[in-house]
Each structure stands twice: as structure tokens, then as C-alpha cells.
Chains A and B, each alone.
Chain A
């Protein structure tokens, strides 16, 4: 069912067409360039018989009068077995396959099937003929990676349907018919592919729960001080070069979740290359398989078309919701949501909407909120608990957090990991500012103990600022020692060396153990009356703790260092 229309206006990636007949907001359309190439587009505004569309490709060469086919289908993704390990563009075109087909460059107008049509899956039926099924109910399963990938009834089914027929256990490709269901004489044949429109949240569950379980990232500063939750949300704003991407890369490696979805949204292609070249060779310690097998990359980097960048975050989040529906704990990381917001801004400008602050559209905040709201921890209809956690990097202009995207994000997320230029400049990585950041969640260590430790950081900072004015001479030894304690906590607990094999990931047990050790130092009353001696002592302590961080858990080396630490202050 499609409609033909004609182009009347072209301005950047926005095209206006004149239509006679019914059109649907957010439906997909194809602009026919005179050389036969079809450019995918999406309807974003309808005014009388004039329809504005964003084109997901460069519009070069399009002409007024060119025809446009308007479909009735909303911009959607394919869901089914075989998503894991894939590298897609923002419209879910598999990029490696695209390269095989059309070569080095992303020539406009080439669209491939998202799911491999040739791969055979070992299907085991779960539903039986005569069973009643509702939306999202399990019809069967195939093994994918280490999970059962359930083949679910369509998510938009209304009411109960009866299974008429289901295929036997065996090998099938995703497009093979596997079941037939019926309701009031109406029959649907189903294969393993579900489709879902990306702009509509996908969630068929009994209830949404409050996030209470920490999502372990193995980064001490996060898990202990600014925890994030399964099904919660967080943001990482920071100026350029402060470590947003590195922090997301570390998290995507070490986070204790089943599936990671990386949305490379309007950032460097080179950074994605790093991930996609390395992940196939890195083991996932939880499963022994490679990291790539639990990862999906949605890649719409900065030189790829802007409209597809805007939709890429929705593509990513929909895949996340799908695996949550399948019962998994999913983490979705977007780098950077500012680029997505800029894509919104570009389109809004072309639509000549009344601009808000910094020319962003007035609906920026609600768009951000709706995006993060798609995360969450849920109890599925069959009782299983699963979650989608969303973490977004934010790239504020000039590194100033008082701008619309950062501010809009802070209103909706559960944790704010603010990176500071000062900390990255001083190479204190991860450069999360411990005095600005916050989390509404409680983490792996008792809240009270954490606040107590955190108070040292505050005191340390004010003493440091004082010292800038009055010099060390003018500071009491007691204050000076407090300052050194804060520095120690910073150096050996907050900072973590992501290039060291052991320090890169600090498991919960180890964090708790280290936290206790450092707490002993923080609470110890050192009998020192000389600043040089104090500096020396803390210098030595820091050195020992660093070595402790670098030594394998429960190794002899670790025990030896612990003895040295004890000798310093008992």
C-alpha cells in the first residue's frame, strides 16, 4: 500500500512533498532520484497536502518534481535471532555486509536486510497447537550465544490468539514460517522476525519495578561512590578529551550485564573501529566467549547522514527493549546524546520551528526525557525480571554544563557522572569529578560509610584551596594530614588505571576490601608533627596501595603489600 507524491521543496536533508491521500506521521517514504536511486525518508510533519520529510541520505541530485513513494509503515527495525555481534548503521543496515556489496563508500540508496536470511537456527517449539497466546508470549526458542533467544508472538497482538500450527524442532532460517495463530477466523502466519517501530516504546510486561540492584561496572568511583542501577539511567557529561568515550568503552567491557548495545551517535568512526576490531578478540570473563558475542554496535558516526543519526538512538534503544523482553539485562550506551540533540536542532531549524535556548527546539527536554524513560527494570508476564539501563555521554559546548542538553538530561537521569577538564588535565582518570557528581541510587557499600569517606574529599579540597593562599607554612599539620588522606583516597580508590590488566576491572569483593583498608587510614590518628614526614609517609602509602591495585587478588604479592601498608601506620 503506497502513495505517490511529488517533491516541491528541497532544503538540506529536508524535503517537502505534495500529497493527495492519507498519510501517516513517521511513515517511511522513498524519494526517487532521477538516476533511479531511492532515498529512504521519514515523514515528520504534515500540513494540509504538504508533507515534510527528513531524508536519511544526502539529498544531492534530487529535483523538484521527482516522485516519492510514501508507505504506510512506520520507521521500524527487524527483531529476531542474529542481532548479537552485528554492526549496524542508524537504520539497521549491516555495515560489513554493505561494504561487501557496494565497496568502501556508503553510497546512498543501498539498504540490506538486517537479519541474516541464510543462517540456520535450531528451533525448539514451546507453544503447542491449541494453546492460547498473547503479545510477546513465547512460541519457541533458538540458542543464540549463551542465551535462549525466544521467538515471541508479535508485540502488538490484541487479545488472545490460538496457536493453529507450529513447526517441529529443527533448523530454520529466520524468514521460515514457524507458526500460525488465529483469532475470530483471522489467521496470521509467523516467522522468527518481529518488526517494531523505533519511536514507540516496546514493552509488554506485568509491571515496571523500582531499580534496586546495582549494575556493577567494576569502576570503583562508580560502584562505590556514584552507583548506577539495573534499569536505571545515568549520564556522562564532559568537555572534549575528558574521557567520556574511554569510560564508556571500559564500561562496555566490564559491566556485569548480559548484553551491551553501543550507539556511536555522531562521533568518530575511528572509535567504533577500535571496538569492532578488538571485541572479537577479547574474552568475556562471565561467559568465556568473546565480548563481541554480547555486543551490538549501532554506528552512525559524524560524517554519516544527520537524519539517520537522529533515528539511530531509537534503533539502539528498541533493540535493547527487545532483549529485555527476551529476559536479559541490557546496557545501552550512547556516545554522544549531544550529537543526537544537534540533529534534532538541525531538523527543527529547517522546519522553521520557534527555537529555544541555543536554537534547540522547545521539545528538546521532553525528547530527552522520553528517551531515558525507555530504560527500566520490569517483571515480564511470566515473572522473569529483566532490565534496560541507559547511559548517555553528553558533550556540552565549551565544556559548560549550563546548556540545554546537559540540563535537560540531569532532570531525568538517576546518576550524574560529570567529567572535569581539571581532572583529565591532571590525568586523574576516570576524570569523574567527585565533588560535582551525584547518584540517587545506593551502591555496594553502606551509604553512611560512603558519605563519611566522601567528606574527606570535600575537606581535602577546601584545605587545598586554603593552602593556595596561605602556603603550606600557614596550614596546620592536622589539616595537612587530612589533605593527604583525601589525596590518598583519590589516588588509590577513585583513580583507576584502565591500561593495567588487573586494575582495569575491580570486582565488588575487592572494592569492599580496599574500601575497608583505605577507611582505616582515613580514620587513623597519625602522630606526626612534621609536614615533610607526613608527605613522605603518604607518598609511601600511595605507592603501596597502587602496587596492591596492580597485584592479583589473593596473591602472595598482594599479601606482602598489605603487610607493608600495615607497617606504615600501626
Chain B
């Protein structure tokens, strides 16, 4: 039967050390004491010494607490019964319903063979013009939202989740404030999406390192749905909290940090999660959107920096809108050539003019004289921000393209837009 160990040798940070035998690397353990129960995972084996990372933290753990090993690494139940359920960041029911035990699957398994991946090629509509028109989101893409704390990034995620036509929505919350959790729950319920959603919620009041499990469980479930042909949208918020939990463990393990205290494998750790985004031949896919808050609005901070090197572009949320310059969907070329013939032209044209408008604003701020052209640009910029850029705008792609033409026509002559004349002839009159 299960063997219990009751002699913990060392407790430091969120890590405990004990003597035990026949334990597998990354095997799960349960640590039980007067304060409760926690999952632990083997992170180092040396002779008969086992080092465990304790997901609920070690506060109150006694050297005589009981440790037992489960004989395998983390597993999670995978079935249709997951729909509508809410779990903790560590996979325990949070909705007062029973735990699931059928069809246990390995969490955080091996990578997909690159040779069987397909190239992403269908658009995901969000009805947000700054995404649909200018930086189209593509099924199977991995894209972070870079944001300073305080921007409405969770609102943006919830909106995309409701709008996207995904078969399955999986939310992984890491260090969420309780009201943010309720907000997501209410939005999904109101939007009638709860029955195709699964939530893994680690809140700010839960033990910090427990959120290390959250993306892995969420993505494993997602991957399995995708293998069975489902289109899955995974939302992770906030990956900076996840990275900070990793930093805590690394420091306890006395790893030499590479950059501002973060471990040298931060890139690899983040990449192995983000790379779960995939399109399979059977039509199944995982699309991944993740919030990365940037401490001090600093993109060179190790978390956004490493993320940028991993993902296929990024949305910069700045001053309440998706900044058209820092944002980039690297996969947009794969889809925006086949939506409508004016899509790419509008995408380039409107942004170039808006960028010129910003230059004019700078000139104005420095006290240089405004030419009639500058004044046109300034007026255009205001209209563009109000009608297109604002996050509250909610229109379809074609609606947004039409609206862009209308705004252009309001302020410019066709030749001033830099858009090919054939397109101007086709769309200028129409609107």
C-alpha cells in the first residue's frame, strides 16, 4: 500500500527535502499536516534524498508532516464533463461540485512533432477593428497582450472569448483578483458561453507557486480537445505572475539568475507553454492569448522580452486602446489577402496616415507651424481614434473597412491616401 514518510529534513522557501526511495522524477506527492493538504512535485533526486516543490507553500509545514508519493506525475481528468466547470489553479473543483477522476491524462506531455503541424490560415473575428482590420488574429496563433497594470486587458480577453467562434474556451487565471475572477465568470455566463467553457482559476489569495500548474493543466486539456478535432481558445492571465512564481522556486533552489532574478530557462519554460498553440490536420486547433503585464511599462523586462521572442506578435494595450504601432500579428498575412480586396490597402493606408498625424502632433507640440496638410491629418487622426481605435467599437470586418473608407473620404482626396487608384475607384464612390 501507499508508503508514508514522516521525516522532513529541510524546509526552505516553497521547497522541502526528505529521505525516500523508489520515487520518479517529477512524481507528485501529497504533503499532509495539521494545516491541511498540498500537492508537491519532485524537482530533484539525489541518492535517497528527494526535493519537493510544495504547491501550497510551506507555511506551517512541520518536519513530522506526512508525505506520500502518488506514483506518477501530474494527471488530470479529461472528458466532456469538464464543460461548465470551475477549478482551482491546481485543478481542484472550485465550484463545490465533485472532483473528476475518469480518463486521467498526463499533464505537460511531450511536444507536437513539428512535421505534422499545419500552417494557420483562418481568421478569428473579434469585431474589434484594431484586431480584425489591422492585426488579424489567426486560428492556431499564440499572441500575448502586453499591458501596463490597470489597462482593461481582462475585459479585452473576455470580449475576444465571447466573439470568437471557438468550440471550447479555456481560461487559466494566475494571480487573479477575486473580482476579476467573478467578472470572467459573469461575462461567460451572460454571454451564454459557460457550457463550452472550462475555468482554472488561481487567485491572488492562493499560494503563489500553485499557479505554476495552471497553464499546464489548461493547455493539456486544450491540446486533448484539439486532438479530437475541436477548435480551442485558451486565455491565460497573467503570465507575469506565472513567471514570478518560477522565479521564487529558482531562487530557493539556489539557481544563478540570468536577468533581474529570473532563471536562465525562463525562455524555454514560457516557450514550452506557448508552443502548445497548434493547428492539426483534423481541423482541431489551439489558439492562445495571454496577458503579460509589463512592470513599469518596460518591454525590455525579462517577461515581456522573452515572450516577444516566443509568440507570433503582440497586442500592446496602451492608454485604453490597442496601439497600432507596437502591435503586430505576424500571421496576419496568412489571412488578410483573402478577406476582401481592399483589406491590405486599408490596413497600410490608414496606419500610414495615422502615423503622419502623430508626426504632425509632435510638430504642433514643438510649436512649429501647421500646414493645411497637417491640419487635415490632425482631423483625420481624431476621427480615426474615435471611430476605429476605441476599444468600445464593435463592428464586423467589412463594416470596419467601409467605415475606414468613409473616414478617409471625409478628410482626403483619393490620391492623398496612397491607396491604389483602382481600389479608390471601387470603394470611394460606394460609401
Contact = CB atoms under 8 A, between A and B. Distances in A.
A345 B111 contact: no
Nearest to B298: A398
Nearest to A277: B119
A431 interface: no
Interface stretch (B124-132, B195-203, B210-218, B252-260): B252-260
Contacts, number: 163
Contacts of A272: 114
Given A106-B113, A240-B308, A273 B119 contact: yes
Interface stretch (A93-101, A224-232, A485-493, A521-529): A93-101
B265 A306 contact: yes
Given A99-B113, A240-B309, A342-B268, A60 B26 contact: yes
B115 interface: yes
Interface in A260-274: 266, 268-270, 272-274
Interface string A1-39: 000000011110000000000000000000000100000
Interface in B400-429: none
Interface in B87-131: 109-120
Contact of B275 (A61, A269, A395): A269
Contacts of A277: 118-119
Contacts of B44: 9-11
Contact of A106 (B110, B120, B268, B366): B110
Interface in B5-34: 21-27
Contacts of B271: 266, 302-303
Nearest to A245: B330
A105 B111 CA distance: 6
A104 B280 contact: yes
B55 to A, nearest CB: 17
A360 B258 CA distance: 8
Interface in A274-290: 274, 276-277
B111 A106 contact: yes
Contacts of A559: none
A269 B116 CA distance: 10
B149 interface: no
A304 interface: yes
Interface in A472-517: 473, 499
A64 B21 contact: yes
B184 interface: no
Interface in B213-244: 227
A64 to B, nearest CB: 5
A345 B24 CA distance: 25
Interface string B330-345: 1001000000000000
Contacts of A471: 366, 368
A399 interface: yes
B65 interface: no
A268 B275 contact: yes
Contacts of B312: 268, 270
Contact of A61 (B25, B256, B328): B25
A508 to B, nearest CB: 29
Contacts of A266: 267-268, 271
Contact of B267 (A59, A87, A339): A339
Contacts of A346: 264-265, 268
Candidate in B118, B275, B328 with the most chain A CB atoms within 10 angstroms = B275
B115 A304 contact: no
Interface stretch (B45-53, B168-176, B391-399): B45-53
B218 to A, nearest CB: 16
B110 A306 contact: no
A270 B114 CA distance: 8
B302 interface: yes
Interface in A358-381: 358-360
A464 to B, nearest CB: 13
A81 B158 CA distance: 54
A274 to B, nearest CB: 6
Contacts of B385: none
A534 B292 CA distance: 46
A61 B23 CA distance: 8
A106 B25 contact: no
Interface string B255-283: 11111000011011001100110001000
A303 B302 contact: no
Given A63-B22, A241-B308, A398-B300, A302 B272 contact: yes
B275 A397 contact: no
B118 A273 contact: yes
Contacts of A273: 114, 117-119
A10 B46 CA distance: 6
Contacts of A59: 25-26
Interface string A78-113: 000000000100000001101100011111100000
A80 B282 CA distance: 36
B112 A105 contact: yes
A562 to B, nearest CB: 23
A301 interface: yes
Contacts of A95: 113-115
Nearest to A345: B264
Q: Which of A64, A65, A241, A266 has the most CB of B within 10 A?
A: A64
B45 A10 contact: yes
A562 B97 CA distance: 76
A355 interface: yes
Nearest to A95: B115
Given A104-B227, A240-B309, A306-B268, A301 B302 contact: no
A498 B205 CA distance: 51
A359 B258 contact: yes
Nearest to A62: B25
Nearest to B371: A532
Contacts of B118: 273, 277
A129 interface: no
A236 to B, nearest CB: 14
A337 to B, nearest CB: 13
Nearest to A299: B114
A96 B114 CA distance: 9
A425 interface: yes
Interface centre among A8, A270, A304, A473 (most CB of B within 10 A): A270
A63 B45 contact: yes
Given A9-B47, A241-B328, A397 B305 contact: yes
A60 B22 CA distance: 13
A473 B46 CA distance: 73
Interface in A439-473: 471, 473
Contacts of A473: 368
- Most interface-central of B27, B73, B330 (chain A CB within 10 A): B330
A62 B26 CA distance: 9
A301 B310 CA distance: 11
A304 B111 CA distance: 6
A349 interface: yes
A63 B23 contact: yes
A276 B118 CA distance: 10
Nearest to A106: B110
A58 interface: yes
Interface string A421-437: 00001000000000000
A212 interface: no
A58 B27 CA distance: 13
A355 B263 CA distance: 13
B35 interface: no
Top 4 A-B pairs, shortest CB-CB distance: A302-B271, A398-B300, A303-B275, A240-B308
17 contacts: A8-B47, A9-B46, A10-B46, A61-B26, A64-B45, A64-B48, A105-B109, A241-B308, A266-B271, A268-B312, A273-B119, A299-B115, A303-B271, A306-B265, A342-B268, A355-B256, A359-B256
Interface of B: 21-27, 43-48, 73, 109-120, 140, 227, 255-259, 264-265, 267-268, 271-272, 275-276, 280, 300, 302, 305-306, 308-310, 312-314, 325, 328, 330, 333, 366, 368
Given A60-B73, A397-B305, 8 more contacts: A9-B47, A11-B44, A59-B26, A63-B22, A266-B267, A269-B114, A349-B264, A359-B257
